[in-house]
Amino acid sequence: MDAIHHSSEPSATLSPTHNMLPVLADRKRVNGPLGGTSAPIYSKYLAKDPKELPERPTRSRPNNVLRKMFLKTGVTPSASGSAYLELAAPINSKSVAPGLASLSPSGLKLTCTVHGPRPLPRTAQFSPHIILTTHVKYAPFATRKRRGYLKDSNERDLGVHLEAALRGVIIGDRWPKSGVEVIITILEGEEDQWWGDDISRGNTSATGWGMMSVLSGCITVASAAIADAGIDCVDVVAGGVAAVVKEAGIPNLVLDPVPSEHKDIIAACIVAYLPSRDEITDLWVKGEIGHQNQAEDRPQTSTYEELTDNAVQAALGAHRVLISALKETADVKLGRT
Amino acid sequence: MAAWVERKQSLVYGSDDWLPRKLVLVRAGGTCPAPFQRPTKKQKASVAATASSSTRALNFTLHITSHHGIKSQSPSPMASTTPQSALSFPRETFAKLSPHPYLRAHLQPTSATATPTRANGRSPSQFRTPHINNGSLTHADGSAVVRIGDTTVVCGIRGEILLTSKVPGWRADKAAAEPSSGAGYNEIKELDLLVPNIELATGCSPAFMPVIPPSTLAQDLSTKIYSLLHSTNLLDREDLRIWYQPPDLSDPDRMDDDSEDDEETSASEIKAFWALYIDILFISLDGNPFDAAWAAVMSALKNVRLPKAYWDPDREMILCDDSVDKSKKLSLNGLPVAITALVFKAKEQAQSKDKKYWILVDPDTFEESLCDESVTVVVDCSEKKTRILSITKSGGTIVGREEMKDIVKLAEQRSTELSSILNG
């Protein structure tokens, strides 16, 4: 498995307009109270006694079962191609009644549009292949903390990874002098950790675990939208995530981890995988497993290879949904219902 | 290990069968316009539709001759037999090449009995069917997804807390004395407690690409929503207040306390306000953004559940209770519904006796690109009498008193249709 890049274009995500002054942008929006507002703080956050705290959600699925996925293409008729992806929110068996919106577990909801291929502007330099531009943006209400309208570094990071994952899939030589834009709006993002850990109670390590699932979803949904737009690809690419989590001191491999369900995530890996070529177009590992020489005394410790292989398995699961969603659309198109 | 995955139902789009609209875009059920025959010498290119029994395969024929540049129209059968002088286009091409005659061809009644039909298959006064799905977003206190035809809007509302201590020039006694102290004082407006923003740069349409600061249309729509929220007096300001009632220290045991202080200590005061951030994202745009955005805002506002907030004097901060029972919904003052209508003018028909314009309600993108005059009416029919809350008209000179009356009537019709969905 090696990464093949068809295009040598630099990431177009970092276009110069990003660096516009926030002041300038804010003047064009309604900004609300001058003094600024603060997010509501729930009294449960501040409970001193751990018994008063609501219980941490736990994973109810077996380790190798992915969350339910909903995928549909053609949600934005005005775009060349579009798709919508939704991952089911984890069901918390322990909570009796659904809490208020802001404390309930969230799923993942992404919408993606593809515009193009269309001719590059006259001023652009000649390009022998298609120029791919990706944008990933969180909606202001996508996460527990309200997001701004300006892109932050996480969003740019996601855009770069997505671009890398898709660049190796599109047969770029078929569209010289043209460009295609992939735009993803995250209507609801994965949480980085359980909200109870937000106030530095737990000794959870790094943040940003939620980004892994988000990126995996972005890859799958973008792949569906590109297929919907009728852009030639070597295969449909799917994203998958696997993680090593510590449960009662024992490291364990899980597919499609939900960060809020695991207190200690040691490492996570996301791949963009092409099943028919057995090729990975994007690979990103976060966290540290430790070196292999520890494996003798602690046989459960997974290696990076195992982690990647499991992420590929997760990607295969997503691929299956992707194919069936595309088939469904094709059937409707051909009138076979 | 093998991965298991299942398909699930969508929360955002609800149970309503969400077909990829692109596939049924051509004509879903609508009747095809009859071929029109209007020989006009003044026309630069005469346009005819060849009659076809099949509704889908309707071809429009554009006659172009190199000699005069103008040629009066020939009967359809001839057009098909003389390919040198006639170019036959599929309807999409015709719509792109000459959009204005294309739409006029649809609207122009060919006989006295035929009703004009728009290019999208609707009659001029026909609205698209709305679909509304509430409460699908986890992190929003209230949310709605509204789909009107191919226009899809997501609206999420979040409440945040504005402490009165942070409000410049706030005096506790001002509001505590009596809410209506200053005449015309509206704290929702004065303190800017409603923050609506529209985002079009979500790839909803090729016209709006990300990375650019909000387009003029987005700013325009945000401002319209903002001013309409305030001018309709939609929200009850009591809903957005967070009161604090200091504990009554005048226990019977402590009779020695000054009785004068009691009055002051037991007076409740406003400690904070809820500010509502109303974010409206377009997922798909096919005309009429304002009506869809407003319907989404209304539906999301009806869906809002704010947690019970209270002042904690020990911690000196506002805390919220997470139980659903203690949370409350907003009480809305009426149910305003916005409708937009465009006026389509038959430019080249100034002399003829034919009807020169059509009023098209709930326009799509194609129609928006062809019309200059637009009217937006906001009505509230929640009580017995219809209240007109706002009328906005721009461009053109056609809409007069009579036309406005018709539009308001249409707005009333739409209002009953929409409010049954909004309430239900």
Asked if B216 is an interface residue toward chain A (Cβ–Cβ < 8 A), one would say no
**Confidence category of residue B395, pLDDT binned at 50, 70, 90:** confident
Secondary structure letter of residue B43 according to DSSP: -
Of A78, A114, A141, the CB nearest to B286: A78
Q: Judge whether B283 and A18 are in contact, CB under 8 Å.
A: no
Quote the CA–CA distance of A92 and B200 in Å, as a whole number.
35
Long-range own/partner contacts, residues B401-409 (CB < 8 A, 24 or more apart): B403/B343, B403/B359, B404/B375, B406/B359, B407/B339, B407/B341, B407/B359, B407/B361, B407/B375, B407/B377, B408/B377, B408/B379
Write out pLDDT tens, residues A292-337.
555 455 555 678 889 999 999 999 999 999 999 999 888 888 887 6
Please indicate, yes or no, if residue B79 is contained in any of the structural domains. Answer: no
| Radius of gyration, CA atoms only, chain A | 21
Write out pLDDT tens, residues B195-208.
999 999 888 888 88
**Confidence category of residue B27, pLDDT binned at 50, 70, 90:** very low
Which range has the top average pLDDT, A45-49, A119-123, B73-77, B348-352? Answer: A119-123
CB–CB contact A102 B10 (8 Å)? no
Asked if A19 is an interface residue toward chain B (Cβ–Cβ < 8 A), one would say no
Please indicate, yes or no, if residue B392 is contained in any of the structural domains. Answer: yes
Kindly list the distances between the CA atom of residue B171 and the CA atoms of B177, B368, B391, B396, in Å, as whole numbers in the listed order.
10, 49, 37, 49
Higher pLDDT among residues A135 and B168, named by residue = A135
Of A102-111, B180-189, B322-331, give the lowest mean pLDDT range.
Answer: B180-189
pLDDT value at residue A231: 94
**Confidence category of residue B44, pLDDT binned at 50, 70, 90:** very low
**Confidence category of residue A197, pLDDT binned at 50, 70, 90:** low
Please indicate, yes or no, if residue B69 is contained in any of the structural domains. Answer: no
Compute the nearest-CA separation of A4 from chain B (Å).
26
Average pLDDT over residues B49-69: 36
Please indicate, yes or no, if residue B321 is contained in any of the structural domains. Answer: no
- CB neighbours (10 Å) of residue B15? 9
Quote the CA–CA distance of B21 and B131 in Å, as a whole number.
14
**Confidence category of residue A52, pLDDT binned at 50, 70, 90:** low
Largest Cα–Cα separation, chain B = 111
**Confidence category of residue B362, pLDDT binned at 50, 70, 90:** very high
**Confidence category of residue B335, pLDDT binned at 50, 70, 90:** very high
Which amino acid, residue B298? M
Asked if A335 is an interface residue toward chain B (Cβ–Cβ < 8 A), one would say no
CB–CB contact A72 B13 (8 Å)? yes
φ and ψ of A310, to 5 deg? -70, -35
pLDDT value at residue B404: 93
Write out pLDDT tens, residues A224-256.
999 999 999 999 999 999 999 888 778 889 999
Q: Which residues of A touch B8 (CB under 8 A)?
A: 68-70, 86, 88
Quote the CA–CA distance of B101 and B108 in Å, as a whole number.
10
Structural domain containing residue B408: 339-422
Quote the CA–CA distance of B411 and B376 in Å, as a whole number.
9
Quote the CA–CA distance of B230 and B225 in Å, as a whole number.
9
Give SS3 for A224. helix
Write out pLDDT tens, residues B364-378.
999 999 998 999 999
Please indicate, yes or no, if residue B260 is contained in any of the structural domains. Answer: no
Quote the CA–CA distance of A337 and B15 in Å, as a whole number.
18
Q: Which residues of B touch A20 (CB under 8 A)?
A: 213
Write out pLDDT tens, residues B220-275.
999 999 999 999 889 988 889 898 888 776 655 555 544 444 444 557 788 899 99
CB–CB contact A76 B195 (8 Å)? no
Average pLDDT over residues B153-182: 74
Residues 44-83 of A with CB under 8 A from B: 44, 46, 62-79, 82
Which residue of chain B comes nearest to A81, CA vs CA? B22
pLDDT value at residue B340: 95
pLDDT value at residue B320: 87
pLDDT value at residue B257: 47
Give SS3 for A283. strand
Please indicate, yes or no, if residue B219 is contained in any of the structural domains. Answer: no
Q: Which pair of tokens denotes residue A64?
A: 């190798």
Please indicate, yes or no, if residue B187 is contained in any of the structural domains. Answer: no
* Residue (of B153, B173, B118, B169) closest to B295 by Cα position: B153
Asked if B350 is an interface residue toward chain A (Cβ–Cβ < 8 A), one would say no
* Whether pLDDT at B72 is above 50: no
Of A23-37, B50-64, B116-130, give the lowest mean pLDDT range.
Answer: B50-64
Quote the CA–CA distance of A83 and A72 in Å, as a whole number.
5
Which range has the top average pLDDT, B5-14, B23-32, B286-295, B321-330? Answer: B286-295
Q: Which residues of A touch B223 (CB under 8 A)?
A: 30
- In sequence order, what are the residues at sequence separation of 6 or more whose Cβ sits closer than 8 angstroms to the Cβ of residue B136? A109, B11, B12, B14, B143, B145
Compute the nearest-CA separation of A325 from chain B (Å).
9
**Confidence category of residue A198, pLDDT binned at 50, 70, 90:** low
CB–CB contact A84 B13 (8 Å)? yes
Q: Judge whether A301 and A294 are in contact, CB under 8 Å.
A: yes
Measured in whole angstroms, how far is the alpha carbon of residue A329 from the centre of its chain? 23
**Confidence category of residue B155, pLDDT binned at 50, 70, 90:** very high
Please indicate, yes or no, if residue B153 is contained in any of the structural domains. Answer: no
* Whether pLDDT at B159 is above 50: yes
Write out pLDDT tens, residues B274-323.
999 999 999 999 999 999 999 999 999 999 989 899 998 888 889 888 77
Percentage of residues in chain A with pLDDT exceeding 70?
A: 77
pLDDT value at residue B383: 84
Q: Judge whether A188 and A142 are in contact, CB under 8 Å.
A: yes
CA angle A86, A92, A97 (to 5 degrees): 105
For chains A and B, count residue pairs whose Cβ atoms are closer than 8 Å: 277
- In sequence order, what are the residues at sequence separation of 6 or more whose Cβ sits closer than 8 angstroms to the Cβ of residue B93? none
Of A252-266, B89-103, B167-181, B325-339, give the lowest mean pLDDT range.
Answer: B167-181
Which residue of chain A comes nearest to B164, CA vs CA? A35
Residues 156-185 of B with CB under 8 A from A: 156-163, 166-168
pLDDT value at residue B192: 87
Average pLDDT over residues B354-362: 83
Which residue of chain B comes nearest to A62, CA vs CA? B4
Q: Which pair of tokens denotes residue B100?
A: 């204005």
Which residue of chain A comes nearest to B165, CA vs CA? A35
pLDDT value at residue B38: 37
- In sequence order, what are the residues at sequence separation of 6 or more whose Cβ sits closer than 8 angstroms to the Cβ of residue B396? B343, B345, B372, B373, B374
Average pLDDT over residues A130-151: 89
* Residue (of B243, A198, A332, B344) closest to A324 by Cα position: A332
Quote the CA–CA distance of B322 and B167 in Å, as a whole number.
26
* Whether pLDDT at B63 is above 50: no
- CB neighbours (10 Å) of residue A249? 7
Asked if B226 is an interface residue toward chain A (Cβ–Cβ < 8 A), one would say yes
* Whether pLDDT at A9 is above 80: no
Task: Look at chain B and report how many structural domains it folds into.
Answer: 2
Q: Which pair of tokens denotes residue B63?
A: 């006659």
Write out pLDDT tens, residues A281-298.
999 998 887 665 554 555
Kindly list the distances between the CA atom of residue A236 and the CA atoms of A274, A328, B262, in Å, as whole numbers in the listed order.
6, 15, 73
- CB neighbours (10 Å) of residue B231? 13
Higher pLDDT among residues B50 and B294, named by residue = B294
- In sequence order, what are the residues at sequence separation of 6 or more whose Cβ sits closer than 8 angstroms to the Cβ of residue B17? none
